[in-house]
Amino acid sequence: MLRSYGWEVYQEVKPGQDGGVCDIVATRGVQVWCIEVKRGWGLKILEQAIRWTQWAHWTSVAVGSPIVPAAARPTLEHYGIGSLNVVPDRQQSMDGVTMEYPRKIEERVRPRLNRKARTKHITDWLCDEMKTAVLAGTSGGGYWSPWRSTCREVEKHVKAHGPCTPKALVTAIAHHYATPRSARNSIVDWIRAGKIPGVKCDTRLGALVLYADDTEELPAPEVFGG
């Protein structure tokens, strides 16, 4: 629905290392809209929405109820949070799982524009994987994190360019670590723990080498330089 109005939609977005996960972040140009999604009303959805009001131009909650509770209205008004009603069109059962397909979204309360929103706190962490990796409202804590983006970059670089030292890797890729040194140390630790798929490390004559797990033979250490 949002995409039909020109919005780019990112799902289960976790900005930075601390804080929560926003169910939906929609962007259109420089505009940012944060939306928390729940089946019904409760304190939790209001608390989650309040978190994003300082970072987004607009913040809304989307619930499967056409009625905005009187108890929620003062909070919505105070923080400028909007309310969307998700109207299901039909239900379909497959393999014992009932899926609801939204027909339309009705705006019950219009969100208030925050002209001083510090949107970079959110937009700096957005990536294309957040559009499809996890559906909004997913239970179990799934989300596409900056750490997963770094792992993806490590795997892509090593498989595309062959064996390299941690120093050469960190110089070549985008990562979420504060310093190159912390990036080198952490990436090597994650590889040794088997948390970055498709990549292994080996020490030869004092040179630590990162390589794809399907590499048949490593070059001599002097090939890698510093």
For residue 110, tell me if it sits in a domain.
yes
pTM: 0.64
Inter-residue contact 193 to 187 (CB < 8 Å): no
Q: Are residues 123 and 188 in the same domain?
A: no
For residue 61, tell me if it sits in a domain.
yes
Q: In what order do the strands lie in the sheet with 81-94?
A: 8-13, 22-28, 31-37, 58-63, 81-94, 97-109
Q: Are residues 153 and 121 in the same domain?
A: no
Residue 205: predicted pLDDT? 54
Q: Are residues 87 and 155 in the same domain?
A: no
For residue 26, tell me if it sits in a domain.
yes
CATH number, domain at 206?
A: 1.10.10
Residue 124: predicted pLDDT? 85
Examine the fold and report which residue of 131, 164, 179 is the final residue of a domain before the chain moves on: 131
Average pLDDT by stretches of 10, the chain with 226 residues: 86 77 94 94 94 96 92 96 82 61 80 96 84 57 71 91 91 89 94 91 79 69 49
For residue 178, tell me if it sits in a domain.
yes
Nearest-angstrom CA–CA distance, 201 and 198? 11
Residue 106: predicted pLDDT? 87
Residue 59: predicted pLDDT? 98
Q: How many domains does the chain have?
A: 2
Nearest-angstrom CA–CA distance, 218 and 208? 11
Which residues span the domain enclosing 119? 3-131
Q: Are residues 176 and 215 in the same domain?
A: yes
CATH number, domain at 87?
A: 3.40.1350.10
